[in-house]
Amino acid sequence: MITTPDNDNNFDGPMIFIIIGKGYESDASEGIDLHIMLKAPDDDTAVREALNALAEEGFIEADLDQIGMLTEVPAEEPHASAYQGAGHEDEARRVLVAQQQHLHRSLAGWTRLRHRLFGLTLQYGYQPARAVALLAAVLAVAVGLFLGLPAGTSTPPGGECPAVDRIGLAVDSAIPLVSTGATDRCQLATGTASGQALAAAGWLFTLLGWATATLVVAGYTGWVRRR
């Protein structure tokens, strides 16, 4: 149930507000329908925090037409999921994520697949740290493999590469545009089975590294949220 707030602050339990309106990302924009849910001590604070959150998301203007206070858990999505997360610092973002999850059901084909990918890896752009974690995981696997197959590398004179140079090769293969200089001192021994395995894995790590690094940039620049 939604009631009109009275600003008396005498409601038992957390005051969860829902604000309905339109947001504009540019002067020529037709506007995006907004349903924002957040916890606040009164309706004035709720409106102020909602406007601040929208500004952070790139909206230049917003028309907030209705505001009400929830007195019970809503039964329908996306508000039901968002209500559970209300009261935290990122409550407005939780609603936006829930809206994206709700939108996903209406998509099809490549658009649906891309939307799903952004949801899993970036939480639709609202948790870009997920992509950083993926990049770190790719690097960790690469380092583990290069350290675990010392016979797959060799120094120019023919000796076994030290661990630090094998780590450098892993970093070079997994993180785009990074060069540790390890290839000057250590090369893959492609004449061995271990060296061939590292070469094949290196191509895969490079591909995954570029993919996850692109997701990191897309997430932190807000590109995903604008799509």
DSSP β-bridge partners for residue 62: 23
Please report the pLDDT score of residue 88 as a whole number: 45
Predicted confidence band at 1 (pLDDT cuts at 50, 70, 90)? very low
Please report the pLDDT score of residue 147 as a whole number: 94
Chain Cα centroid distance, residue 190 = 38
Query: What is the C-alpha to C-alpha distance for residues 5 and 114, in angstroms, rounded to an integer?
Result: 40
Tokens read off for 119: 């949801």
Antiparallel, parallel or unpaired: β 61-70 and 153-154: unpaired
Q: Say what the pTM is.
A: 0.54
Predicted confidence band at 166 (pLDDT cuts at 50, 70, 90)? very high
Summarize pLDDT for 102-142 with one digit per residue, the tens.
665 666 776 677 667 777 677 666 677 888 888 999 999 99
- Mean pLDDT (the chain) is 78
Measured over the CA atoms of residue 67, residue 68, residue 69 and residue 70, the dihedral's sign is negative
Please report the pLDDT score of residue 144 as a whole number: 95
Please report the pLDDT score of residue 203 as a whole number: 94
Summarize pLDDT for 68-104 with one digit per residue, the tens.
877 665 545 555 555 555 544 455 556 566 666 666 5
Please report the pLDDT score of residue 173 as a whole number: 92
- Tell me: pLDDT of 158 over 90: no
